A and B are shown apart, each in its own frame.
Chain A
Amino acid sequence: MTQPHARATTVSAIALALAGALVLSSCSTPGAAEQPGLTDTSVKIGTHQPLTGPAAASYAPISAATAAYFDYVNDQGGINGRTIDYIVKDDGYNPATTQTVVRELVLDDDVFAILGGLGTPTHSSVLDFLNDNDVPDLFASSGSAAWNQPEKYPNTFGFQTDYVTEGMVLGQHISDEFGGKTVCLLGQDDEFGTDVQSGLEKILGADGLAEVQTYSVSNQDVSAQIVAMQAAGCEVNVLATITGFTALAIGTAAQLSYFPQWVSSSSGADYGPLAGYLGDAAPLLLEGFISDNYLPDASESDNKWIELFQDINDKYNKGAPFNGSVVYGMAMGYLFAEALLHAGKQPTRESLITAVQSGELKGSGLVPLAFSKTDHNGYVGAGITVVHDGVQASTGERWVRDGDKVVAYDKPPVELLSGGVPSN
């Protein structure tokens, strides 16, 4: 041995690989249980959420709210006598991490289903894996059209109104209220942006948008885009942006003394976090801010759902700031509880899917759900909300999609029954 550094070679390397394998194998092997994650008294479900990273500030409260709602349900005896065990894994909004944590949930924690996996890039990366393993993939949290592919992904379902429909609803409102004005779009440089754009163009016409700008989440500066929109003479600016970038766009424009009419997709329009980003100037900057929403607004204190969610938030969520994310998380939990109830006394993964497709789920939204065998979209339309004096409230105007146009929807919203715990 004349080379002290060259001691390690193949044999020892492979021996170590085997040692590593043995360390790994000492952990348990999942049993061949009939229904993973299901016992007579509990059902285990999991989700991947951005608890850290760039999207955490806006979206981390969602899973906390869902957990609080499940605590409330469990205290009432659960669904069909089963308590809901909800495991939240942090993926930092990074698809690479999502891959690992979802495999951990499915292969190691043996969850019965995945609920509300958040984000288009993150959740897209696990669709194939979940499908291969026949895991019910309920109510993915983004408006991507990818969740609605019943042929390719029979187990995957959306939750919120898809981005194309959101674009159409916003487009309809703009064409009704701001006819003749110059309409522009600032969109995220992915499906979110392009889908909202295609929705807007369905209503406003192919040349309905005077200027389309895009931004990337990894670059925290949108001044170039805002200047371009100002130069193009944009009067009504639609935002297909996540919350942080909605605030950034409005704030950047204000610094340039540019005050167009802002119209935002629901994903980036939650008043609470926006006001947090914009600080003291928020009520002034957000006055007249228009957005769409398919769930009741957090500030509508006379709505029965909001009353209940606020109550649960105080008791089970340590009184966290009550905003759109909390409503979203609890509405998500309620919808799952409904699906679990309809899946029967001895639910299986198949019966859960059948229950969602049955069309019996009502949800807690302003508009109906689309779920059927051939349609895996969530909510089918949206209402319009406007900020006035620092309160974001529904105008009562609601639209649902019908092919390539939207039609007004005037049936009453879903009623709150049996204390917000679904029962037969």
Chain B
Amino acid sequence: MTGTRDVSTASAAPAPVRPRRPHWLLTPSSWTPLQRWGVTALGLVLALGATFLLDPYRNYLLAVGTAYLCAIAGLSLLVGRTGQLSLGHAAFMAAGAYAFAFTSNALADESVPSLVHLYAPFLVAIVVAAALGAVVGIAGARLHGPYLAGLTLALVLALPALTSLMSDVFGGDAGLYVSVERRPEWLSQLIADEQWQAWVGLGAAALVLGVLAQLVRSPYAIRMQAVRDDESAARLSGIDPRATRVTMFGISAATAGLGGGVLAYVTQAASPGAYSLSFSLFLLVAVVIGGVGTLAGAVWGAVVLVLVPELTSSITEALPLPAELSQRLDGNLAIVVFGVILVVVMLVAPRGINGAVGSLVGRLRRRRP
């Protein structure tokens, strides 16, 4: 069965045909995988260079943003491409963060080469999160819509209970301190620690975006879409819906795990409080605000997720409010603003910021041919 689903099924998949001239922002689908990797690498180099324009605090935010981006990108494809709704992606990030913490702490005690200490924890974070994702995915492949959402919700709700039940392993509510490999000695004169963290984060994000960009252009993407749109039709075309769903769930858990690893690396901590239910929901909100199922949308989502708390806190500081009120608003206003943005985006641009930008660009092009 598996042998028959390849290019032939891909070309046979019914896709709504809408003639549209490819825009320069969009890579032509005729590009080879190598060309796409080249563009990813080029983008990474540009982004690394751009960190020199940022002060340490903004670099720190950028590093945190890239961690979010890893998770959001995987979640966005999961929701948008296979139609599986996960409310518990923070749990996969937590799995990655704790795996990173254990590995990094263990390696810190050994005298391993610094490159191993830098990369190995990320690798373990990806593997552990992917394994957890595959297990949940196998259970979840039998479930649809709200039932799958419920399963993943239970996962993220169980996290603090698990960490406090086994507090001698996971460090309870306080979590674990992560001993990480810092920037190389020769770089410490040139860049601040935060800029190095941004570099590590950008590297991880480039890897995720690069891999996922290959994925959405591969025949596999057509299979995912087929499974999402009509399971019976997909089955008739020789596509195994369960295998497709489990694979995508595993991939998206792996990217979330890498994101958790980046967050553990940047903040030097893995704690249950960082991966709460509300954070998990924020990830989903970011996916929707950015544009479900698209990688550029994931970038928008990560930008919003990082910038909104920043902007609200600077607004509350700038406004002449009584100290007590502004302190009350400090932590809470961001949540309100997220809600408002979500509602507005749904009303004005149902395809998210990315969709809105796309149609705006399209309209401008039509006006000025």
Contacts and interface: CB of A to CB of B under 8 A. Distances in A.
A93 B173 CA distance: 10
A23 interface: yes
Nearest to B300: A16
B267 interface: yes
A89 B330 contact: yes
Most buried by A among B44, B268, B291: B268
B167 interface: yes
Interface string A44-85: 000000011100000000001001000000000000000000
Residue among B53, B81, B164, B174 having the largest count of chain A Cβ atoms under 10 Å: B174
Nearest to B266: A99
B271 interface: yes
A13 B209 contact: yes
Given A22-B50, A121-B174, A94 B273 contact: yes
A216 B172 contact: yes
Contacts of A36: none
B46 interface: yes
Contacts, number: 215
A96 interface: yes
A100 interface: yes
Given A95-B175, A107-B55, A108-B57, A12 B271 contact: no
A215 B273 CA distance: 17
B293 to A, nearest CB: 5
B47 A107 contact: no
B294 A5 contact: yes
B64 A100 contact: yes
B273 A13 contact: no
B173 A9 contact: no
B161 A218 contact: yes
Given A128-B268, A216-B164, A90 B39 contact: no
Give the interface SS of chain A, mostly helix, strand, loop or mixed.
Answer: helix
B74 interface: no
B269 A125 contact: yes
Interface in A379-418: none
Contact of B36 (A10, A16, A53, A218): A10
A104 interface: yes
Interface stretch (B23-31, B146-154, B250-258): B23-31
Interface in B173-217: 173-175, 177, 193-194, 202, 205-206, 209-210, 213, 216-217
A28 to B, nearest CB: 7
A14 B47 contact: yes
A99 B58 contact: no
A12 B296 contact: yes
Given A51-B327, A125-B268, A3 B221 contact: yes
Interface in A167-192: 189-191
A1 B22 contact: yes
Interface in A197-247: 216-219
A232 B220 CA distance: 62
A24 B202 CA distance: 15
B51 A21 contact: yes
A6 B216 contact: yes
A105 to B, nearest CB: 10
B287 to A, nearest CB: 13
Interface in A95-111: 95-97, 99-100, 103-104, 107-108
Nearest to A110: B57
Contacts of A27: 55, 58
Nearest to A28: B55
B230 interface: no
Nearest to B216: A6
A12 B294 CA distance: 10
A178 to B, nearest CB: 30
Interface stretch (B12-20, B123-131, B132-140): B12-20
Interface string A105-147: 0011000000000001100110011001000000000000000
B20 A1 contact: yes
Given A21-B54, A96-B269, A9 B330 contact: no
B265 interface: no
B27 A9 contact: yes
Interface string B322-355: 0110011011100000000000000000000010
A52 B324 CA distance: 12
B288 interface: no
Given A5-B293, A89-B330, A11 B60 contact: no
B160 interface: yes
Contact of B173 (A3, A12, A218): A218
B225 interface: yes
B227 interface: no
Nearest to A3: B15
A152 to B, nearest CB: 12
B298 interface: yes
A17 interface: yes
A29 interface: yes
B62 A121 contact: no
A2 interface: yes
Nearest to B37: A10
Contact of B47 (A7, A21, A97): A21
B66 to A, nearest CB: 8
Contacts of B121: none
A30 B57 CA distance: 9
Residue from the set A4, A20, A99, A132 with the largest chain B CB neighbour count within 10 Å:
A20
A33 interface: no
Contact of A90 (B164, B269, B331): B331
A5 B29 CA distance: 13
A307 to B, nearest CB: 25
A217 B173 CA distance: 7
24 contacts: A1-B22, A1-B29, A5-B293, A8-B296, A10-B39, A13-B209, A13-B296, A14-B42, A14-B44, A14-B47, A16-B303, A17-B202, A17-B205, A22-B50, A22-B53, A23-B303, A24-B62, A24-B307, A52-B328, A64-B324, A121-B271, A125-B175, A190-B173, A218-B173
Given A18-B47, A21-B47, 11 more contacts: A1-B29, A10-B213, A11-B26, A13-B295, A22-B53, A51-B328, A90-B330, A103-B60, A124-B174, A129-B268, A219-B161
Cβ-closest 6 pairs across A and B? A14-B43, A96-B274, A121-B174, A8-B296, A107-B57, A216-B164
Interface of B: 15-18, 20, 22, 25-27, 29, 36, 39-40, 42-44, 46-47, 50-51, 53-58, 60-62, 64-65, 69, 80-81, 160-161, 164, 167, 172-175, 177, 193-194, 202, 205-206, 209-210, 213, 216-217, 221-222, 225, 267-269, 271-274, 276, 291, 293-300, 302-303, 307, 313, 323-324, 327-328, 330-332, 354, 358
Interface of A: 1-18, 20-25, 27-30, 51-53, 64, 67, 88-90, 92-97, 99-100, 103-104, 107-108, 120-121, 124-125, 128-129, 132, 189-191, 216-219
